Amino acid sequence: MTTTDRSAGVTVLPMPDLSPTFPGPFPSSPHADHIQAHVGQWLHRFPLLGPPDARRTLCDIVAHGVARTFPTAEPDGLFLCADLFLWLTAFDDTYGEATAAGSPAQLVRRIQGCLHVLADGEPPGDADPFDEALQDLLVRLRTRATAAQYLRVSCCLRDVLFGILWEAHHLAEPDHVRLHDYLAMRPHTVLVRTLIAVAEVVLRYELPEEARNSQAVRQAESAVADLAGVLNDLGSYARESAKGVPNSLNLVSLITREQSCDIPTAYAAASLLGEEHAAAARHGIGALATSDSAPLTEHAGALESIACSYIWHINHARYKKA
């Protein structure tokens, strides 16, 4: 394990060493600037975020993140993925976390509006930018995806919204959260399951159902999903610690409680877990990549670049800034 984060001026927290499994440098799409211009315009059409600073930072991380998530994709697919990621992040920033913990019932009502749109309901008379933007995303998704691909993403979006709600109910009482349940929720709240489902739509391939339900695909997907969750937790814990308010609903905090240990020990354990997931992901992706099936090798490529985008992600300014 290497020790990084000295720049943040806080206790040195041992980040995982992923160089043996995902050495980098990670390829990026030549359309990154294009994506950034597009999300700026999309946010102008659907004003999901008020403060210009927050908007600029979010557009930057989403554009460059998606450019790394799907470096070989064509612009239209990248735009759709970026807008979707932006919508989910802006929704969480606006309605989730601290705001939601204060009034879970209010969040339940907000999510109900989104579920109505997801369930093909008529748009409400008082639709706000989040409803309208979601409607726009679903129309574009439906045009580009097969029926099953569309529904798979639709399931993932419901799971993310439930995840935001789940977090809101536990921020105030993290003691009720078992590590096992937290780890089960994380792939949804960190959006990686959505990205995996969106990959086929963005890159225009389709896994045969038998392959999708195979142990090989499930194992590789789970390893990437778990890796994404751990990395995000390590990144956000370091960031929040630097601000002096580490999130109590975080893998590191949960490990300190479950194992009655101090923070550096818990952080080291989480880092080690990240390295283990990275090794499992590398192994699983490798097995799919050498298969004879074209969609399986495409899926391997997508899982690889999704993993890389999360590794890249935690070094972005949104995580570095105290």
Q: Can you give the binding site for a copy of itself, defined by CB under 8 A?
A: 104-105, 108-109, 111-113, 115-116, 118-121, 124-125, 146-148, 151-152, 154-155, 158-159, 162, 165-166, 169-170, 173, 176, 180-181, 184-185, 188, 193, 209, 218
Q: Which lies closer to a copy of itself via its Cβ, residue 1 or residue 115? A: 115
How many other C-beta atoms can be found within 10 angstroms of the C-beta atom of residue 169?
15
Q: Which lies closer to a copy of itself via its Cβ, residue 5 or residue 159? A: 159
Q: Which lies closer to a copy of itself via its Cβ, residue 36 or residue 194? A: 194
Minimum distance from CB of 94 to a copy of itself (Å)? 19
Minimum distance from CB of 19 to a copy of itself (Å)? 30
Q: Which lies closer to a copy of itself via its Cβ, residue 28 or residue 247? A: 247
Minimum distance from CB of 222 to a copy of itself (Å)? 8
Q: Which lies closer to a copy of itself via its Cβ, residue 127 or residue 279? A: 127
Say if CB 68 and CB 25 are below 8 A apart: no
Minimum distance from CB of 151 to a copy of itself (Å)? 4
Minimum distance from CB of 313 to a copy of itself (Å)? 22
Q: Which lies closer to a copy of itself via its Cβ, residue 14 or residue 163? A: 163
Three-class SS string for 228-291?
HHHHHHHHHHHHHHHHCCCCCCCHHHHHHHHHCCCHHHHHHHHHHHHHHHHHHHHHHHHHHHCC
What 3-state class would DSSP assign to 117? helix
Task: Indicate if the alpha-carbon torsion angle 237, 243, 244, 249 is positive or negative.
Answer: negative
CB burial of 241-272 (b: ≥16 within 10 Å; e: otherwise) equals bbeeebbbbbbbbbbbeeeeeebeebbbbbbe
Minimum distance from CB of 152 to a copy of itself (Å)? 6
CA torsion angle 136 139 144 146 (round to 10): 140
Length in residues, the chain: 322
The tokens for 88 are 């989910």
